[in-house]
Structure 1
């Protein structure tokens, strides 16, 4: 077949560091025989950042044209097929998958995090979409269980971001050490009272440890306001890092002793750089990651009301907690590359 043209579809170009990390991982893992076109919320930015072709994800004409000139549709990765927030996400992505299949493209559901699916319609759409895929890979046991119940073949491997290359961050090493990174996001479970308690706990934690606090918004539209609110209360050294390149986001954690995170991919990036991690879960995917990696943390709904308990718990983990070992990280990286192997095997059958 020669050079293969592939449309890449995900929550790309929307300013979310985790989804950008998935795109960067996918582009890193694509065989050289594949020419990608990325459907993006910001095509110009995507073209510039990754030097790839890109089109507007919301332009029906652009999407249709891209599919008609392509051989493969890659649907990945992350929590695209879930209706916890609304039914729009699974309807959009299932609709694109259905269109690609009607046009005769080979389809891959890649590194998926499936669910929650609470509505009968979205469950039915998801099952139909995955059933018709040529190949499927998932990133967690919960997703594997759903597809297993639907009797859909799949490959299970850790999130591809474990294997994402990292880049150094300018100015990071000029900041005083030790450093602790904090990644909070806007969510209904992070109420003003809980944010206030976390902020007071962080102020006390910093005074006790003398650490430099790095506030890391993964999605500026949701996270920056929270980072600025915390920054205004801290009395010790601190800095807000707004990083657009996901490889730099991952590289940031190389210079960090401990990470306190809500963001799923912030915890993966930090653990991959052998940081101590403390999770604040707002979503089943974070809770599942805590279980799989044996990470300490709280579900935000069960966050202690006393800031002193929070800060003392963080202090205990900072002093006595253990990061993943190098061997553990390498094992996760090696298994994450199974997503790359799936792509290679798929493409080899087309050439």
Structure 2
């Protein structure tokens, strides 16, 4: 059985690459995946699976026509925050697959925001035509309830991603602190300076070694370098494109300060304390669900000492998720695998 996997793949976003890696991990053994990606040669080399150029619409259409199934593979694909482009691209491919009579799955989706009435109605009709729908959050589940579309509420599948050994952090003396930042209008030069000064203080207080981990490669790398090079004791920039090795990296640090959703998630899955800098309601929601400390980015304290003290307390308390809580998240994430097993069963 051939299944086309469709998502925001090949753009250097570690969160979306982790979703793909987890989807490949969860696919039944008899399924041959074909990944639609922005960088198909690199992706084919990394994951050892067949890939197609997502921008070659003739190749994409013929690939879907020859396949048995089509899967929206995780993330917030159907959203119109940045306009209709995402809805039109992912929606048209799902519509094509459904018109061909393929088995279609909306897998581990975060639906919305959908502000445009046309986008909402189009998304509703496509989801209603899927063989199975799983959503990763309560807000998406409520939306589907309001549309009377059967679905399963799971959680982000990356909780169940199997980590791989990553010796990179071992080159630094503990305690090791991972810092996951991204460019954002609220992270202006003044707030960057506050964060850098707070990290300097944390280094003095607990002897921390700092790893700056970009999650959008190369987009996050200049900011990561700026922070790492501005510290009194310079930090290490770790650009890791392999999601399983990235998961392994977070298992070897003692504290994570993160803006990005999957930075928070991977740190929590690795069992180390995490302190969130939220710029997005999804990040705020996850911090609440795992009961992790943090603050909204636009409310960042002006005094670096306040931040350093908060990070030091998180480190000393060692208040990461305990093994039982982590296992609970993993079990919920594995429900996404059962969705695939059910829909992709041999005929």
TM-score tier (shorter): over 0.9
Could you say what secondary structure the match of 1:337 adopts? helix
Contact persistence 1:179–1:257 (CA under 8 A): yes
| Post-superposition CA distance 1:240-263 (Å, at most 9, x none) | 111110001100011111111011
Q: CA deviation at 1:305?
A: 2.3
Structure 2 distance, partners of 1:6, 1:138, is: 20
Partner of 1:198: 195
Mapped partners of 2:189, 2:86: distance in 1:
27
Q: Aligned equivalents of 1:91 and 1:306: distance in 2?
A: 45
Q: CA deviation at 1:331?
A: 1.1
**Aligned mates of 2:335, 2:72 — CA distance in 1:** 16
Aligned residues: 347
Cross-structure match for 1:228? 225
Q: 1:194, 1:87 → 2: CA distance?
A: 32
Distance 1:162 1:307 in 2: 32
Matched, 1:118 2:115: yes
Structure 1 segments of 4+ aligned residues over 4 angstroms from their partners: none
1: CA distance between counterparts of 2:83 and 2:304?
Answer: 33
Q: Is the 8 A contact 1:80 1:89 kept in 2?
A: yes
Could you say what the CA RMSD is over the residues aligned between the two structures, in angstroms? 1.3
Partner of 2:155: 158
Unaligned runs of 5+ in 1: none
Residue 193 of structure 1 deviates from its aligned partner by 2.3
The CA distance in 1 between the partners of 2:25 and 2:42, in whole Å, is 18
Aligned twin of 2:179: 182
> Which of these residues, 36, 39, 42, is aligned with residue 39 of structure 1?
36
The equivalent position to 1:23 in structure 2, one of 11, 15, 20, is 20
Matches within 5 A, 1:192-341: 192-236=189-233, 238-341=235-338
Give distance in 2, aligned partners of 1:171 and 1:323.
21
The 10-residue stretch of structure 1 (252-261 or 140-149) with the greater mean CA deviation from structure 2: 140-149
Matched ranges for 1:29-108 at <5 A: 29-108=26-105
TM-score normalised by the chain length of structure 2:
0.97
Structure-1-length-normalised TM-score: 0.96
